[in-house]
Amino acid sequence: MLKKVLWQKDWGAYAPFCPYCSEYAYEKDHCVFCGKKYEWDEPKNVPKPTIVEHKGFTIIQTTNNHLQMYKDNRIVMHASCTTKMTEDELRAEVDRYENMRKDR
């Protein structure tokens, strides 16, 4: 029976690792480092990033609670944050960012 990929915290966010050699699991069926096959497993009970589209921006709160805001596939804002926000609060962040830009 194949072992399943291991989901571990890496730099504050969850990432998949090879269950045999503990290297990063780049491929979904085998390890590019040791060549062994593993079974892909979607993480359970693992926080997922929250992604909200608002006013032409995409705002993402990653699993380590950092905020990233994108417009036209370019990152326009990155901020550290310590609390998990709701989707409404993330929309409010986009509004706040827009108001800041207007003040300039």
Which spans of this chain sit near Zn ion (rule: CB under 5 A)?
Answer: 18, 20-21, 31, 33-34
Do the beta carbons of residue 67 and residue 79 sit within 8 Å? yes
Distance of CA 32 to CAs 7, 29, 81, 87, Å? Answer: 17, 10, 34, 37
State the nearest-atom distance from the C-beta of 26 to Zn ion, in Å: 10
Residue with smaller CB distance to Zn ion, 9 or 36? 36
| H/E segment holding residue 97 | helix 87-103
State the nearest-atom distance from the C-beta of 30 to Zn ion, in Å: 8
Residue with smaller CB distance to Zn ion, 18 or 69? 18
